[in-house]
């Protein structure tokens, strides 16, 4: 409870199990993520409750200076969890220089988070920054403002608002260019959304390769105009 920053942060670890935990931080507290999994393999997060001020679960693998370790986050299963009041329920990035793959999120409930799935990346994360095989299934979202959000122009870091990072025109593909491959969503119900159903913004020079949505239902809150203005 009431951590000053990220609450649980496994780093360079294998066979991580986080079971039946409750992580509680004030809803207005900055950077109080629930669990930040960074450069880990074979991760299971099951039966947990998150009520935090920032991201509930974030999957990361470092900034580009960490790519020399080539330590991705892979094979992560998140299930039977309740995630409330954070910026994102399950977030990938933005520090993904070694890649994130093989993520399976299922049988969870997201309540009143800003986003359901959130992918954050940007130019400068590097060619090893490959986000692939991300699957969401059997999810209930209630009051999630934007259920599905992918942003390849994330603006953090000292150069986050630079011309190189933020220019919407195609840039040369280099060893600093990240990629997003396959995202799959199935059997997901989203009620009381207020901003948008989905927002996918890829890089013009390296587009998102595949987005699959099957049996996904989104309905908006009755007072959506007031919620957006607020």
In contact, 24 and 52? CB cutoff 8 Å: yes
Domain ranges for the chain: 14-166+173-229
pLDDT tens digits along 72-126: 999 999 999 999 999 999 999 999 999 999 999 999 999 999 999 999 999 999 9
Question: Which residue is it, tokens 């947990």?
Answer: 48
d(CA 45, CA 65): 28
Provide the pLDDT confidence category of residue 183 given band limits of 50, 70 and 90. Answer: very high
State pTM to two decimals.
0.95
Give CA–CA dist 33/116, Å, rounded.
14
14-166+173-229 belongs to CATH 3.90.1640.10? no
Residues with active-site annotation: 54, 87
* Stronger pLDDT, 224 or 170, i.e. the higher one: 170
Alpha-carbon span 144 to 108, nearest angstrom: 13
């Amino acid at each position: 409870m009431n951590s000053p920053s990220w609450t649980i942060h496994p780093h360079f670890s294998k066979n991580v199990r986080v079971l039946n935990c409750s992580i509680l931080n004030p809803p207005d507290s900055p950077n109080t993520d629930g669990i930040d999994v960074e450069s880990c393999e074979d991760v299971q997060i099951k039966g947990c409750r998150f009520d935090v001020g920032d991201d509930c679960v974030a999957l990361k693998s470092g900034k580009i200076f960490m790519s020399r370790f080539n330590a991705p986050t892979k094979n992560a299963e998140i299930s039977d969890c309740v995630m409330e009041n954070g910026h994102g329920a399950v977030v990938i990035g933005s520090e993904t220089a070694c890649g994130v793959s093989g993520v399976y999120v299922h049988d969870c409930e997201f309540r009143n988070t800003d986003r359901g799935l959130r992918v954050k990346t940007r130019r400068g994360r590097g060619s090893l920054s490959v986000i692939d095989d991300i699957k969401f299934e059997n999810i209930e979202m209630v009051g999630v403002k934007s259920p599905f959000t992918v942003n390849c122009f994330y603006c953090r870091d000292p150069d986050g608002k630079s011309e190189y990072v933020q220019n919407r025109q195609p840039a040369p593909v280099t060893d600093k260019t990240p990629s997003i491959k396959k995202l799959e969503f199935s059997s997901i119900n989203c009620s009381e959304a207020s901003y948008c159903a989905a927002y996918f913004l890829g890089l013009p020079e390296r587009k998102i390769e595949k987005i699959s949505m099957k049996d996904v239902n989104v309905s908006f809150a009755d007072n959506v105009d007031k919620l957006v203005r607020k």
